[in-house]
Amino acid sequence: MRRDRDRRPARRAPFLTPKPRILVLCEGERTEPEYIRGFQRACKNTRVDVEIAKERGVPHTLVHEAKRRKNDADAAAKRERDENLRYEEVWIAFDVDEHPKVAETLDMAKANGIQVAMSNPCIELWLLLHFRPNPGMQHRHKVQKQLEESVGQSGKGVDFTRYEAQYETALERARRLAADAEKAGEPGRNPTTWFYRLTESIRAAR
Angle between helical axes of 102-111 and 59-80 (0-180°, round to 10): 20
Angle between helical axes of 195-204 and 31-43 (0-180°, round to 10): 30
Dist CA 89 CA 117 (whole Å): 12
Q: Is the pLDDT of residue 137 over 60?
A: yes
Alpha carbon dihedral 150, 153, 156, 160, in 10-degree steps, equals -70
Mean pLDDT of 104-114: 95
Mean pLDDT (the chain, rounded): 89
Least confident of 2-16, 103-117, 130-144, 167-181: 2-16
State how beta strands 192-193 and 115-120 pair.
antiparallel
Q: Is the pLDDT of residue 13 over 80?
A: no
- Find the length of the chain: 206
**Confidence at residue 206, expressed as pLDDT on a 0 to 100 scale:** 75
Burial grade of 122 (CB within 10 A; 0-12, 13-18, 19 or more): buried
Per-residue buried b or exposed e for 25-49, using 16+ beta carbons within 10 Å of the residue's own CB: bbbbeebbbbbbebbbeeeebebbe
Between 109 and 206, the more confident residue is 109
pLDDT band at 98 (very low <50, low <70, confident <90, very high): confident
Q: Is the pLDDT of residue 28 over 60?
A: yes
pLDDT band at 145 (very low <50, low <70, confident <90, very high): very high
Mean pLDDT of 83-97: 94
Between 152 and 50, the more confident residue is 50
Dist CA 11 CA 20 (whole Å): 23
Q: Is the pLDDT of residue 3 over 60?
A: no
